[in-house]
Structure 1
Amino acid sequence: MKVEGIAAIVTGGASGLGLATAQALAGAGAKVALVDLNEQGAKAAAEPLGGIGIGCDVSDAASAEAAVARAAEAHGPARILINCAGVATPGRIVGKNGPLDLSVYSRVIAINLIGTFNMMRLVAAAAQSLDPLDGGERGVIVSTASVAAYEGQVGQAAYASSKAGIVGLTLPAAREFAPVGIRVCAIAPGIFETPMLLGLPQDVQDSLGRSVPFPSRLGKPEEYADLVMSIIRNPMLNGETIRLDGAIRMQPR
Protein backbone atom coordinates (compact mmCIF):
# COMPACT_ATOMS: atom_id res chain seq x y z
CA MET A 1 0.00 0.00 0.00
CA LYS A 2 1.19 3.49 -0.83
CA VAL A 3 1.12 5.62 2.32
CA GLU A 4 0.82 9.13 0.92
CA GLY A 5 -2.57 10.67 1.64
CA ILE A 6 -3.82 7.62 3.57
CA ALA A 7 -5.51 8.01 6.97
CA ALA A 8 -3.74 6.13 9.77
CA ILE A 9 -4.35 5.55 13.48
CA VAL A 10 -1.49 4.76 15.87
CA THR A 11 -2.35 3.72 19.42
CA GLY A 12 0.18 4.42 22.13
CA GLY A 13 1.24 7.24 19.83
CA ALA A 14 2.43 9.70 22.45
CA SER A 15 5.77 7.97 23.06
CA GLY A 16 8.09 5.06 22.28
CA LEU A 17 7.31 2.68 19.43
CA GLY A 18 4.01 4.39 18.68
CA LEU A 19 5.51 7.86 18.37
CA ALA A 20 8.34 6.66 16.12
CA THR A 21 5.80 4.92 13.89
CA ALA A 22 3.56 7.98 13.74
CA GLN A 23 6.58 10.06 12.73
CA ALA A 24 7.49 7.59 9.98
CA LEU A 25 3.94 7.54 8.64
CA ALA A 26 3.63 11.31 8.68
CA GLY A 27 7.02 11.62 6.99
CA ALA A 28 5.71 9.42 4.19
CA GLY A 29 2.66 11.61 3.73
CA ALA A 30 0.03 9.80 5.78
CA LYS A 31 -2.66 11.65 7.74
CA VAL A 32 -1.98 10.41 11.26
CA ALA A 33 -4.13 10.28 14.38
CA LEU A 34 -2.15 9.57 17.56
CA VAL A 35 -4.36 7.79 20.08
CA ASP A 36 -3.16 7.55 23.68
CA LEU A 37 -4.45 7.47 27.23
CA ASN A 38 -2.21 10.52 27.73
CA GLU A 39 -4.28 12.97 25.72
CA GLN A 40 -2.01 15.95 26.32
CA GLY A 41 1.02 13.93 25.27
CA ALA A 42 -0.77 12.72 22.13
CA LYS A 43 -1.76 16.24 21.13
CA ALA A 44 1.74 17.60 21.75
CA ALA A 45 3.30 14.77 19.72
CA ALA A 46 0.79 15.16 16.87
CA GLU A 47 1.23 18.91 16.38
CA PRO A 48 4.64 18.86 14.63
CA LEU A 49 3.43 15.98 12.45
CA GLY A 50 0.40 17.85 11.18
CA GLY A 51 -1.76 15.14 12.75
CA ILE A 52 -4.24 15.01 15.59
CA GLY A 53 -3.93 13.68 19.12
CA ILE A 54 -6.86 11.89 20.71
CA GLY A 55 -7.29 10.71 24.30
CA CYS A 56 -8.52 7.13 24.48
CA ASP A 57 -8.64 4.07 26.70
CA VAL A 58 -8.27 1.34 24.08
CA SER A 59 -9.68 -1.28 26.46
CA ASP A 60 -13.01 0.57 26.66
CA ALA A 61 -15.52 0.09 23.85
CA ALA A 62 -17.11 3.54 24.03
CA SER A 63 -13.77 5.33 24.34
CA ALA A 64 -12.34 3.51 21.33
CA GLU A 65 -15.46 4.08 19.26
CA ALA A 66 -15.29 7.81 20.01
CA ALA A 67 -11.58 7.95 19.11
CA VAL A 68 -12.06 6.16 15.79
CA ALA A 69 -14.98 8.43 14.95
CA ARG A 70 -12.94 11.53 15.84
CA ALA A 71 -10.07 10.36 13.64
CA ALA A 72 -12.46 9.68 10.75
CA GLU A 73 -14.01 13.12 11.14
CA ALA A 74 -10.58 14.70 10.75
CA HIS A 75 -8.96 12.48 8.12
CA GLY A 76 -11.59 10.12 6.75
CA PRO A 77 -11.85 6.42 7.66
CA ALA A 78 -8.46 4.92 8.49
CA ARG A 79 -6.94 2.32 6.19
CA ILE A 80 -3.93 1.84 8.48
CA LEU A 81 -4.04 0.84 12.16
CA ILE A 82 -0.89 0.36 14.22
CA ASN A 83 -1.54 -1.04 17.70
CA CYS A 84 1.26 0.05 20.05
CA ALA A 85 -0.67 0.79 23.26
CA GLY A 86 0.37 -1.53 26.06
CA VAL A 87 1.56 -2.01 29.62
CA ALA A 88 4.07 -4.43 31.13
CA THR A 89 3.04 -4.68 34.78
CA PRO A 90 5.21 -7.38 36.38
CA GLY A 91 4.13 -9.89 39.02
CA ARG A 92 4.57 -13.53 39.93
CA ILE A 93 1.48 -15.68 39.78
CA VAL A 94 2.14 -16.51 43.44
CA GLY A 95 4.46 -14.08 45.18
CA LYS A 96 5.70 -13.57 48.71
CA ASN A 97 2.36 -12.13 49.72
CA GLY A 98 0.25 -14.81 48.06
CA PRO A 99 -1.48 -15.06 44.71
CA LEU A 100 -1.33 -12.14 42.30
CA ASP A 101 -4.28 -9.79 42.59
CA LEU A 102 -6.56 -10.80 39.73
CA SER A 103 -7.16 -7.15 38.86
CA VAL A 104 -3.47 -6.80 37.91
CA TYR A 105 -3.72 -9.64 35.42
CA SER A 106 -7.06 -8.43 34.10
CA ARG A 107 -5.73 -4.92 33.47
CA VAL A 108 -2.77 -6.14 31.42
CA ILE A 109 -4.99 -8.40 29.34
CA ALA A 110 -7.56 -5.63 28.92
CA ILE A 111 -5.10 -3.06 27.62
CA ASN A 112 -2.72 -5.24 25.62
CA LEU A 113 -4.99 -7.88 24.13
CA ILE A 114 -8.56 -6.64 24.38
CA GLY A 115 -7.41 -3.15 23.43
CA THR A 116 -5.75 -4.51 20.30
CA PHE A 117 -8.89 -6.47 19.37
CA ASN A 118 -11.11 -3.49 20.17
CA MET A 119 -9.29 -1.14 17.81
CA MET A 120 -8.95 -3.85 15.17
CA ARG A 121 -12.68 -4.55 15.04
CA LEU A 122 -13.58 -0.87 14.76
CA VAL A 123 -11.04 0.11 12.11
CA ALA A 124 -11.67 -3.03 10.03
CA ALA A 125 -15.43 -2.49 10.14
CA ALA A 126 -15.02 0.92 8.50
CA ALA A 127 -12.16 0.00 6.15
CA GLN A 128 -13.96 -2.97 4.60
CA SER A 129 -16.53 -0.66 2.99
CA LEU A 130 -13.92 1.65 1.41
CA ASP A 131 -13.07 1.51 -2.27
CA PRO A 132 -10.20 -0.89 -2.94
CA LEU A 133 -6.78 0.50 -3.82
CA ASP A 134 -4.35 -0.95 -6.37
CA GLY A 135 -4.20 -4.71 -5.98
CA GLY A 136 -7.52 -4.79 -4.14
CA GLU A 137 -6.18 -3.62 -0.78
CA ARG A 138 -8.45 -1.78 1.59
CA GLY A 139 -6.37 -1.69 4.77
CA VAL A 140 -3.41 -2.84 6.83
CA ILE A 141 -3.36 -3.60 10.55
CA VAL A 142 -0.11 -4.11 12.47
CA SER A 143 -0.21 -5.11 16.13
CA THR A 144 2.60 -5.24 18.69
CA ALA A 145 3.36 -8.60 20.26
CA SER A 146 6.67 -9.33 22.03
CA VAL A 147 9.36 -11.98 22.27
CA ALA A 148 7.77 -12.59 25.68
CA ALA A 149 4.95 -14.29 23.79
CA TYR A 150 7.43 -17.10 23.10
CA GLU A 151 9.89 -16.87 26.01
CA GLY A 152 8.02 -15.23 28.85
CA GLN A 153 10.14 -14.78 31.95
CA VAL A 154 9.32 -15.40 35.59
CA GLY A 155 7.15 -12.49 36.70
CA GLN A 156 5.84 -11.88 33.15
CA ALA A 157 2.83 -14.19 33.21
CA ALA A 158 0.31 -11.42 32.52
CA TYR A 159 2.41 -9.63 29.91
CA ALA A 160 3.54 -12.80 28.13
CA SER A 161 0.05 -14.24 27.88
CA SER A 162 -1.37 -10.95 26.61
CA LYS A 163 1.27 -10.83 23.87
CA ALA A 164 0.79 -14.51 23.04
CA GLY A 165 -2.86 -13.64 22.56
CA ILE A 166 -1.89 -11.05 19.96
CA VAL A 167 0.18 -13.67 18.12
CA GLY A 168 -2.81 -16.01 18.19
CA LEU A 169 -5.15 -13.28 16.98
CA THR A 170 -3.10 -12.33 13.93
CA LEU A 171 -3.64 -15.30 11.59
CA PRO A 172 -7.38 -15.78 12.11
CA ALA A 173 -7.89 -12.04 11.68
CA ALA A 174 -5.85 -12.07 8.46
CA ARG A 175 -7.90 -15.01 7.18
CA GLU A 176 -11.19 -13.36 8.08
CA PHE A 177 -10.33 -10.04 6.43
CA ALA A 178 -8.62 -11.51 3.35
CA PRO A 179 -11.79 -11.46 1.20
CA VAL A 180 -12.12 -7.68 1.73
CA GLY A 181 -8.44 -6.91 1.19
CA ILE A 182 -7.36 -6.03 4.73
CA ARG A 183 -4.00 -7.45 5.76
CA VAL A 184 -3.08 -8.21 9.38
CA CYS A 185 0.43 -8.69 10.76
CA ALA A 186 2.17 -8.39 14.11
CA ILE A 187 5.68 -7.49 15.22
CA ALA A 188 7.33 -9.17 18.22
CA PRO A 189 10.01 -6.75 19.41
CA GLY A 190 12.85 -7.76 21.67
CA ILE A 191 14.42 -5.27 24.08
CA PHE A 192 13.80 -1.75 22.80
CA GLU A 193 14.45 1.81 23.93
CA THR A 194 10.98 2.48 25.28
CA PRO A 195 10.26 5.03 28.04
CA MET A 196 10.01 2.18 30.55
CA LEU A 197 13.46 0.78 29.73
CA LEU A 198 15.07 4.21 29.42
CA GLY A 199 13.94 4.90 32.98
CA LEU A 200 16.21 2.11 34.27
CA PRO A 201 19.75 2.87 35.49
CA GLN A 202 22.29 3.12 32.69
CA ASP A 203 24.21 0.07 33.85
CA VAL A 204 21.03 -1.99 33.67
CA GLN A 205 20.32 -0.70 30.16
CA ASP A 206 23.87 -1.56 29.11
CA SER A 207 23.56 -5.05 30.56
CA LEU A 208 20.28 -5.65 28.72
CA GLY A 209 21.85 -4.43 25.49
CA ARG A 210 24.79 -6.80 25.85
CA SER A 211 22.36 -9.73 26.11
CA VAL A 212 21.33 -9.21 22.48
CA PRO A 213 23.51 -11.35 20.16
CA PHE A 214 23.75 -8.75 17.36
CA PRO A 215 23.58 -5.87 17.32
CA SER A 216 24.45 -5.94 21.04
CA ARG A 217 22.34 -3.00 22.09
CA LEU A 218 18.78 -2.02 22.74
CA GLY A 219 16.59 -1.74 19.67
CA LYS A 220 15.63 1.73 18.51
CA PRO A 221 11.98 2.74 18.06
CA GLU A 222 12.86 3.90 14.54
CA GLU A 223 13.80 0.31 13.67
CA TYR A 224 10.36 -0.85 14.75
CA ALA A 225 8.84 1.91 12.63
CA ASP A 226 10.94 0.84 9.64
CA LEU A 227 9.47 -2.65 9.84
CA VAL A 228 5.95 -1.26 10.11
CA MET A 229 6.52 0.73 6.94
CA SER A 230 7.88 -2.36 5.16
CA ILE A 231 4.80 -4.36 6.15
CA ILE A 232 2.49 -1.64 4.88
CA ARG A 233 4.31 -1.42 1.56
CA ASN A 234 4.70 -5.16 0.90
CA PRO A 235 1.36 -6.75 -0.04
CA MET A 236 2.60 -10.31 0.46
CA LEU A 237 3.19 -9.77 4.17
CA ASN A 238 0.02 -11.05 5.78
CA GLY A 239 -0.98 -13.24 8.71
CA GLU A 240 2.55 -13.26 10.12
CA THR A 241 4.18 -12.28 13.40
CA ILE A 242 7.74 -11.07 12.73
CA ARG A 243 10.37 -11.15 15.46
CA LEU A 244 12.48 -7.99 15.64
CA ASP A 245 14.99 -8.88 18.31
CA GLY A 246 18.64 -9.16 17.21
CA ALA A 247 18.38 -12.97 17.68
CA ILE A 248 17.79 -12.74 21.44
CA ARG A 249 16.08 -15.64 23.21
CA MET A 250 14.97 -14.64 26.68
CA GLN A 251 16.18 -16.64 29.67
CA PRO A 252 13.78 -17.74 32.45
CA ARG A 253 14.92 -14.80 34.63
Structure 2
Amino acid sequence: MNVQDKIVVVTGGLSGLGAATVKLMSSLGASIAVFDLQLPKDSPTGDSDSQKYRYFKVDVSKTEQVAAAVQAVTAWSKETNKPIAAVVCCAGFLGPAKILSKNNSPLALETFKKVVDISLTGTVDVIRQILPHMSTQPADTNGSRGVIITVSSAAAFDGQEGQVSYSAAKGAIAAMTLPLARDLSRWGIRAVCIAPGMFDTGMVEGMPEKARESLNKTLEFPARAGRPEEFACMVRSVVENVMLNGTVIRLDGAARMPSRL
Protein backbone atom coordinates (compact mmCIF):
# COMPACT_ATOMS: atom_id res chain seq x y z
CA MET A 1 0.00 0.00 0.00
CA ASN A 2 1.17 3.48 -0.88
CA VAL A 3 0.85 5.99 1.98
CA GLN A 4 0.94 9.06 -0.28
CA ASP A 5 -2.03 11.28 0.61
CA LYS A 6 -3.18 8.86 3.27
CA ILE A 7 -3.14 9.00 7.08
CA VAL A 8 -0.83 6.96 9.29
CA VAL A 9 -1.60 6.76 13.01
CA VAL A 10 1.39 6.25 15.33
CA THR A 11 1.05 5.74 19.08
CA GLY A 12 4.09 6.70 21.14
CA GLY A 13 5.04 8.83 18.15
CA LEU A 14 7.11 11.52 19.85
CA SER A 15 10.12 9.39 20.78
CA GLY A 16 12.18 6.34 19.89
CA LEU A 17 10.74 3.88 17.39
CA GLY A 18 7.54 5.86 17.03
CA ALA A 19 9.31 9.13 16.21
CA ALA A 20 11.44 7.44 13.54
CA THR A 21 8.30 5.93 12.04
CA VAL A 22 6.59 9.33 11.97
CA LYS A 23 9.59 10.86 10.19
CA LEU A 24 9.81 8.19 7.50
CA MET A 25 6.06 7.91 6.84
CA SER A 26 5.86 11.69 6.54
CA SER A 27 8.72 11.70 4.00
CA LEU A 28 6.69 9.23 1.91
CA GLY A 29 3.80 11.67 1.68
CA ALA A 30 1.61 10.48 4.54
CA SER A 31 -0.26 12.73 6.92
CA ILE A 32 0.48 11.67 10.49
CA ALA A 33 -1.73 11.40 13.56
CA VAL A 34 0.47 11.12 16.65
CA PHE A 35 -0.86 9.76 19.94
CA ASP A 36 1.44 10.38 22.90
CA LEU A 37 1.39 11.21 26.60
CA GLN A 38 2.61 14.71 25.82
CA LEU A 39 2.15 17.22 23.04
CA PRO A 40 5.22 18.53 21.19
CA LYS A 41 6.55 21.77 22.62
CA ASP A 42 5.89 23.66 19.38
CA SER A 43 2.23 22.58 19.39
CA PRO A 44 0.94 23.32 22.90
CA THR A 45 -2.71 22.63 22.07
CA GLY A 46 -2.31 19.87 19.52
CA ASP A 47 -4.75 21.77 17.29
CA SER A 48 -2.83 22.36 14.09
CA ASP A 49 -4.00 23.76 10.75
CA SER A 50 -1.37 21.66 9.02
CA GLN A 51 -2.61 18.80 6.90
CA LYS A 52 0.65 16.98 7.58
CA TYR A 53 0.50 16.37 11.33
CA ARG A 54 -2.10 16.20 14.06
CA TYR A 55 -1.05 15.60 17.68
CA PHE A 56 -3.24 14.12 20.39
CA LYS A 57 -2.44 13.89 24.08
CA VAL A 58 -3.40 10.30 24.83
CA ASP A 59 -2.72 7.83 27.60
CA VAL A 60 -3.56 4.63 25.75
CA SER A 61 -4.53 2.96 29.02
CA LYS A 62 -7.44 5.44 29.30
CA THR A 63 -10.16 4.32 26.92
CA GLU A 64 -11.98 7.65 26.95
CA GLN A 65 -8.81 9.42 25.79
CA VAL A 66 -8.34 6.86 23.04
CA ALA A 67 -11.97 7.33 21.97
CA ALA A 68 -11.63 11.11 21.73
CA ALA A 69 -8.44 10.88 19.67
CA VAL A 70 -9.84 8.23 17.34
CA GLN A 71 -12.97 10.30 16.80
CA ALA A 72 -10.84 13.31 15.86
CA VAL A 73 -8.67 11.27 13.48
CA THR A 74 -11.65 9.71 11.72
CA ALA A 75 -13.21 13.16 11.34
CA TRP A 76 -9.91 14.40 9.84
CA SER A 77 -9.93 11.43 7.46
CA LYS A 78 -13.45 12.26 6.28
CA GLU A 79 -12.78 16.00 5.97
CA THR A 80 -9.68 15.50 3.85
CA ASN A 81 -10.87 12.40 2.03
CA LYS A 82 -7.66 10.69 3.12
CA PRO A 83 -8.05 7.05 4.19
CA ILE A 84 -6.16 5.64 7.16
CA ALA A 85 -3.47 3.48 5.58
CA ALA A 86 -1.76 2.19 8.73
CA VAL A 87 -1.93 2.14 12.50
CA VAL A 88 1.46 1.62 14.17
CA CYS A 89 1.21 0.85 17.89
CA CYS A 90 4.54 1.81 19.48
CA ALA A 91 3.29 2.94 22.90
CA GLY A 92 4.53 0.69 25.71
CA PHE A 93 5.86 0.52 29.25
CA LEU A 94 8.70 -1.66 30.59
CA GLY A 95 8.01 -1.78 34.35
CA PRO A 96 10.88 -4.13 35.34
CA ALA A 97 10.30 -6.14 38.51
CA LYS A 98 10.90 -9.74 39.54
CA ILE A 99 7.97 -11.96 40.48
CA LEU A 100 9.68 -12.43 43.85
CA SER A 101 12.22 -9.91 45.14
CA LYS A 102 15.39 -10.61 47.10
CA ASN A 103 13.58 -9.71 50.31
CA ASN A 104 10.86 -12.27 49.51
CA SER A 105 8.22 -9.72 48.47
CA PRO A 106 5.93 -10.72 45.59
CA LEU A 107 5.50 -8.64 42.47
CA ALA A 108 3.04 -5.82 43.11
CA LEU A 109 -0.10 -6.54 41.15
CA GLU A 110 -0.42 -2.85 40.30
CA THR A 111 2.97 -2.98 38.57
CA PHE A 112 1.86 -5.92 36.48
CA LYS A 113 -1.45 -4.26 35.62
CA LYS A 114 0.22 -1.00 34.57
CA VAL A 115 2.51 -2.77 32.11
CA VAL A 116 -0.36 -4.80 30.66
CA ASP A 117 -2.75 -1.83 30.59
CA ILE A 118 -0.35 0.32 28.57
CA SER A 119 1.48 -2.21 26.41
CA LEU A 120 -1.30 -4.73 25.71
CA THR A 121 -4.73 -3.37 26.56
CA GLY A 122 -3.85 0.06 25.20
CA THR A 123 -2.74 -1.50 21.92
CA VAL A 124 -5.94 -3.50 21.58
CA ASP A 125 -8.08 -0.49 22.51
CA VAL A 126 -6.56 1.74 19.83
CA ILE A 127 -6.98 -1.00 17.24
CA ARG A 128 -10.56 -1.94 18.11
CA GLN A 129 -11.75 1.66 18.16
CA ILE A 130 -10.22 2.66 14.82
CA LEU A 131 -11.18 -0.49 12.87
CA PRO A 132 -14.86 0.39 12.28
CA HIS A 133 -13.68 3.42 10.28
CA MET A 134 -10.94 1.55 8.40
CA SER A 135 -13.30 -1.27 7.43
CA THR A 136 -15.63 1.16 5.61
CA GLN A 137 -12.90 2.91 3.60
CA PRO A 138 -12.67 2.33 -0.15
CA ALA A 139 -10.24 -0.49 -0.95
CA ASP A 140 -7.24 0.06 -3.21
CA THR A 141 -6.51 -1.95 -6.36
CA ASN A 142 -5.25 -4.87 -4.24
CA GLY A 143 -8.47 -4.90 -2.24
CA SER A 144 -6.54 -3.48 0.74
CA ARG A 145 -8.04 -1.12 3.29
CA GLY A 146 -4.94 -0.76 5.43
CA VAL A 147 -2.63 -2.50 7.86
CA ILE A 148 -2.38 -2.78 11.64
CA ILE A 149 1.22 -2.93 12.87
CA THR A 150 1.76 -3.93 16.48
CA VAL A 151 5.03 -3.88 18.37
CA SER A 152 6.09 -6.86 20.44
CA SER A 153 9.67 -7.44 21.66
CA ALA A 154 12.45 -9.99 21.83
CA ALA A 155 11.30 -10.24 25.46
CA ALA A 156 8.23 -12.10 24.20
CA PHE A 157 10.54 -15.00 23.35
CA ASP A 158 13.70 -14.51 25.44
CA GLY A 159 12.37 -12.74 28.52
CA GLN A 160 15.00 -11.94 31.11
CA GLU A 161 14.90 -11.75 34.88
CA GLY A 162 12.55 -8.99 35.92
CA GLN A 163 10.54 -9.11 32.70
CA VAL A 164 7.56 -11.21 33.76
CA SER A 165 5.12 -8.31 33.22
CA TYR A 166 6.71 -7.01 30.03
CA SER A 167 7.12 -10.46 28.49
CA ALA A 168 3.52 -11.31 29.31
CA ALA A 169 2.25 -8.19 27.56
CA LYS A 170 4.57 -8.45 24.56
CA GLY A 171 4.02 -12.20 24.26
CA ALA A 172 0.27 -11.62 24.07
CA ILE A 173 0.75 -9.01 21.34
CA ALA A 174 2.76 -11.50 19.30
CA ALA A 175 0.24 -14.30 19.92
CA MET A 176 -2.77 -12.28 18.79
CA THR A 177 -1.24 -11.42 15.40
CA LEU A 178 -2.55 -14.38 13.39
CA PRO A 179 -6.11 -14.34 14.79
CA LEU A 180 -6.18 -10.58 14.29
CA ALA A 181 -5.22 -11.05 10.63
CA ARG A 182 -7.84 -13.77 10.24
CA ASP A 183 -10.54 -11.64 11.83
CA LEU A 184 -9.77 -8.75 9.48
CA SER A 185 -9.14 -10.59 6.23
CA ARG A 186 -12.73 -10.18 4.99
CA TRP A 187 -12.23 -6.40 5.02
CA GLY A 188 -8.81 -6.45 3.37
CA ILE A 189 -7.05 -5.22 6.51
CA ARG A 190 -3.73 -6.86 7.36
CA ALA A 191 -2.11 -7.38 10.76
CA VAL A 192 1.64 -7.69 11.25
CA CYS A 193 3.73 -7.64 14.42
CA ILE A 194 7.33 -6.42 14.67
CA ALA A 195 9.38 -7.74 17.59
CA PRO A 196 12.50 -5.58 18.04
CA GLY A 197 15.56 -6.64 19.98
CA MET A 198 17.80 -4.03 21.59
CA PHE A 199 17.34 -0.64 19.95
CA ASP A 200 18.78 2.77 20.79
CA THR A 201 15.68 4.20 22.45
CA GLY A 202 14.86 5.78 25.79
CA MET A 203 14.28 2.36 27.38
CA VAL A 204 17.81 1.20 26.56
CA GLU A 205 19.41 4.56 27.29
CA GLY A 206 18.13 4.30 30.86
CA MET A 207 20.07 1.10 31.47
CA PRO A 208 23.14 1.15 33.73
CA GLU A 209 26.34 1.17 31.69
CA LYS A 210 27.37 -2.23 33.08
CA ALA A 211 24.09 -3.75 31.92
CA ARG A 212 24.48 -2.21 28.47
CA GLU A 213 28.01 -3.61 28.13
CA SER A 214 26.81 -7.05 29.17
CA LEU A 215 23.94 -6.91 26.70
CA ASN A 216 26.24 -5.81 23.87
CA LYS A 217 28.23 -9.04 24.30
CA THR A 218 25.13 -11.05 23.34
CA LEU A 219 24.79 -9.36 19.94
CA GLU A 220 25.62 -11.17 16.71
CA PHE A 221 25.64 -9.07 13.53
CA PRO A 222 25.46 -6.18 13.47
CA ALA A 223 27.19 -6.05 16.84
CA ARG A 224 25.34 -2.96 17.98
CA ALA A 225 21.90 -1.88 19.05
CA GLY A 226 19.38 -1.28 16.30
CA ARG A 227 18.71 2.25 15.13
CA PRO A 228 15.16 3.63 15.26
CA GLU A 229 15.30 4.41 11.54
CA GLU A 230 15.92 0.69 10.87
CA PHE A 231 12.70 -0.10 12.69
CA ALA A 232 10.95 2.53 10.59
CA CYS A 233 12.29 0.88 7.42
CA MET A 234 10.65 -2.36 8.53
CA VAL A 235 7.37 -0.51 9.06
CA ARG A 236 7.67 0.76 5.49
CA SER A 237 8.25 -2.75 4.18
CA VAL A 238 5.20 -4.05 6.03
CA VAL A 239 3.02 -1.22 4.76
CA GLU A 240 4.12 -1.63 1.14
CA ASN A 241 4.23 -5.45 0.87
CA VAL A 242 0.70 -6.81 0.80
CA MET A 243 1.93 -10.39 1.30
CA LEU A 244 3.16 -9.59 4.80
CA ASN A 245 0.21 -10.56 6.93
CA GLY A 246 -0.48 -12.53 10.12
CA THR A 247 3.17 -12.87 11.02
CA VAL A 248 5.63 -11.77 13.70
CA ILE A 249 8.93 -10.37 12.42
CA ARG A 250 11.90 -10.48 14.79
CA LEU A 251 14.08 -7.45 14.16
CA ASP A 252 17.11 -8.26 16.29
CA GLY A 253 20.19 -9.03 14.17
CA ALA A 254 20.05 -12.72 15.28
CA ALA A 255 20.61 -11.75 18.94
CA ARG A 256 19.06 -13.86 21.69
CA MET A 257 18.67 -12.35 25.13
CA PRO A 258 20.52 -14.05 28.01
CA SER A 259 18.63 -14.96 31.17
CA ARG A 260 20.37 -12.20 33.09
CA LEU A 261 22.75 -9.32 32.52
Bucket of the pairwise TM-score, normalised by the shorter protein: over 0.9
Is the Cα–Cα contact under 8 Å of residues 43 and 52 in structure 1 kept in the other structure? no
Mean Cα deviation higher: 94-103 or 10-19 = 94-103
Show the counterpart of 1:94: 100
Residues 151 and 134 of structure 1, relative CA distance in 2, 3 Å threshold: same
Q: Give 3-state SS (helix, strand or coil) of 2:176's partner.
A: helix
Matches within 5 A, 1:178-197: 178-197=185-204
Deviations along 1:165-196, whole A, 9 cap, x unmatched?
00111110100000100000000000000112
Residues 102 and 125 of structure 1, relative CA distance in 2, 3 Å threshold: same
Is the Cα–Cα contact under 8 Å of residues 141 and 182 in structure 1 kept in the other structure? yes
Q: Give 3-state SS (helix, strand or coil) of 2:243's partner.
A: coil
Residues 100 and 187 of structure 1, relative CA distance in 2, 3 Å threshold: same
Show the counterpart of 1:126: 133
Deviating beyond 6 angstroms after TM superposition, the runs of 4 or more aligned structure 1 residues are: 46-49
Gaps of 5+ in 1: none
Amino acid at match of 1:35: F
Show the counterpart of 1:158: 165
Partner residue of 1:251 out of 248, 251, 258: 258
Q: Give 3-state SS (helix, strand or coil) of 1:217's partner.
A: coil
Show the counterpart of 1:56: 58
Matches within 5 A, 1:1-253: 1-40=1-40, 43=43, 50-76=52-78, 78-97=84-103, 98-200=105-207, 204-253=211-260
Q: How many residues align?
A: 252
Instruction: For residue 42 of structure 1, report the CA deviation from its aligned partner.
Output: 9.3
RMSD after superposition: 2.0
1:41 and 1:23 mapped to 2: Cα distance? 17
Instruction: For residue 60 of structure 1, report the CA deviation from its aligned partner.
Output: 1.8
TM-score normalized with structure 2 length: 0.91
Instruction: For residue 94 of structure 1, report the CA deviation from its aligned partner.
Output: 1.0
Instruction: For residue 204 of structure 1, report the CA deviation from its aligned partner.
Output: 4.6
Gaps of 5+ in 2: none
Instruction: For residue 159 of structure 1, report the CA deviation from its aligned partner.
Output: 0.2
2:207 and 2:51 mapped to 1: Cα distance? 29
1:199 and 1:216 mapped to 2: Cα distance? 20
Q: Which has the larger share of helix?
A: 1
Identical positions, percent:
39
